[in-house]
């Protein structure tokens, strides 16, 4: 009986030793892994899904840890997510800000914790806070849309769909407006803030159409808002309006190839943006040199060159 009990004790001790060994090994492995927190203004846009997919590929290959959060256009929620990331002891924060100004104070707190900050798609108001900012050439996106319009129309009444709390969106509209400002034949007759969302742009556009149908162009800060405008125009039977977007999304490209109203989109590259973001993270980790600001060129996709692009994917 005593011998049997001793055998049981030995087996139990072996199990305990193995458990302790595995736990120590796992904890040791986790300490060697870097932790990356990602929060975008919204995941209700496939643009950010594409960025995330590029980040995931590399993080999974390197067996590191990735946390992804969606604040759904709520800046207070995004601030809470960032505070949660601090509690999770992340090493790197990749952020697309809901509000370029209101988020700055929280990011200063992040910086004090020694967490590196990579801003993507929309810069923050105080770009000194960010360790790296990766954006499309948003101002040029607006410039290219304006030049395309001027090449096709001698004059136009214009409606603007905006997002006034995000610097990238403001830059796009400013690029457009600066390009036409010295030419009185192009007039902005109405504008609305739609937060870059299709479901907000659609009713806003309906209201504008109800007030005044005498416009020939809609300049939208992004493709989702352009899609809202296009739906409202179709409902109203307006078939000769030039609608511009910014993104190069599959949905917008399909409409450019098939719809009278969808004129063009200044195409971003979320694939390149995601690749740049995660490459910067590992350059930081390895203490390699990196650019503090990376600006990715935009490409105009319109009816004349739409056949050169895939309608089903992003660039």
| pTM for the model | 0.85
Provide the β-strand partners of residue 92. Answer: 36, 116
CA distance 142 to 148: 10
Q: What's the per-residue H, E or C state across the chain?
A: CHHHHHHHHHHHHHHHHHHHHHHHHHHHHHHHCCEEEEECCCCCCHHHHHHHHHHHHHHHHCCCEEEEECCCCCHHHHHHHHHHHHHCCCCEEEECCCCCCCCHHHHHHHHHCCCEEEEECCCCCCCCCCCEEEEECHHHHHHHHHHHHHHHCCCEEEEEEECCCCHHHHHHHHHHHHHHCCCCCEEEEEEEECCCCHHHHHHHHHHHHHHCCCCCEEEECCHHHHHHHHHHHHHCCCCCCEEEEEECCHHHHHHHHHCCCEEEEEECCHHHHHHHHHHHHHHHHCCCCCCCEEEECCEEEECCCHHHCCCCCCC
- Output the pLDDT for position 12: 62
Q: Do residues 248 and 266 lie in contact, with contact meaning Cβ atoms separated by under 8 Å?
A: yes
- Output the pLDDT for position 25: 46
CATH number of 33-135+270-296: 3.40.50.2300
Q: Which residues, including other chains, have CB under 8 Å from residue 87's CB and lie 6 or more apart?
A: none
Domain 138-268+301-308 top-level CATH class: alpha beta
- Cα 188 to chain centroid distance, Å, stands at 27
- Output the pLDDT for position 26: 46
CA distance 44 to 205: 20
Q: Please name the residue that has the structure tokens 């056949």.
A: 307
**pLDDT tens, the chain, 315 aa long:** 555 555 565 556 556 555 554 444 444 456 789 999 999 999 988 999 999 999 999 999 999 999 999 999 999 999 999 999 999 999 999 999 999 999 999 999 999 999 999 999 999 999 899 999 999 999 999 999 999 999 999 999 999 999 999 999 999 999 999 999 999 999 999 999 999 999 999 999 999 999 999 999 999 999 999 999 999 999 999 999 999 999 999 999 999 999 999 999 999 999 999 999 999 999 999 999 999 999 999 999 999 999 999 999 999
- Output the pLDDT for position 22: 47
**Domain locations along the chain:** 33-135+270-296, 138-268+301-308
- Output the pLDDT for position 32: 85
- Output the pLDDT for position 127: 83
- Output the pLDDT for position 10: 58
Do the two domains 33-135+270-296 and 138-268+301-308 of this chain adopt the same fold? yes
């Amino acid at each position: 009986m005593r011998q049997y009990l001793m055998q049981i004790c030995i087996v139990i001790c072996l199990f305990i030793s193995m458990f302790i060994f595995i736990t120590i090994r796992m904890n040791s492995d986790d300490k060697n892994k870097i932790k990356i927190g990602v929060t975008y203004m919204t995941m209700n846009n496939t643009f950010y899904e594409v960025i995330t997919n590029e980040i995931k590929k590399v993080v999974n290959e390197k067996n590191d840890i990735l946390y992804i959060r969606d604040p759904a256009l709520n800046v207070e929620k995004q601030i809470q997510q960032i505070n949660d990331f601090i509690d999770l002891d992340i090493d790197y924060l990749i952020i697309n800000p809901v509000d370029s100004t209101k988020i700055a104070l929280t990011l200063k707190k992040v910086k004090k914790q020694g967490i590196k900050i990579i801003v993507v798609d929309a810069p923050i108001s105080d770009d000194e806070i960010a360790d790296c900012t990766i954006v499309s050439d948003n101002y040029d996106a607006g410039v290219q849309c304006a030049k395309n319009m001027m090449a096709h129309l001698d004059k136009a009444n214009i409606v603007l769909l905006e997002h006034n709390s995000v610097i990238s969106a403001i830059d796009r509209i400013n690029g457009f407006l600066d390009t036409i400002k010295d030419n009185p034949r192009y007039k902005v007759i109405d504008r609305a803030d739609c937060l870059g969302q299709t479901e907000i742009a659609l009713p806003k556009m309906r209201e504008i159409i109800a007030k005044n149908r005498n416009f020939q162009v809609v300049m939208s800060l992004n493709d989702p808002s352009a899609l809202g405008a296009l739906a409202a125009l179709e409902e109203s039977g307006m078939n000769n309006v030039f609608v511009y977007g910014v993104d190069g999304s599959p949905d917008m490209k399909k409409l450019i190839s098939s719809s009278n109203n969808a004129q063009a989109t200044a195409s971003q590259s979320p694939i390149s943006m995601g690749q740049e973001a995660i490459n910067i993270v590992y350059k930081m980790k390895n203490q390699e040199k990196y650019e503090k600001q990376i600006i990715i060129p935009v490409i105009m996709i319109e009816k004349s060159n739409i056949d050169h692009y895939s309608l089903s994917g992003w660039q």
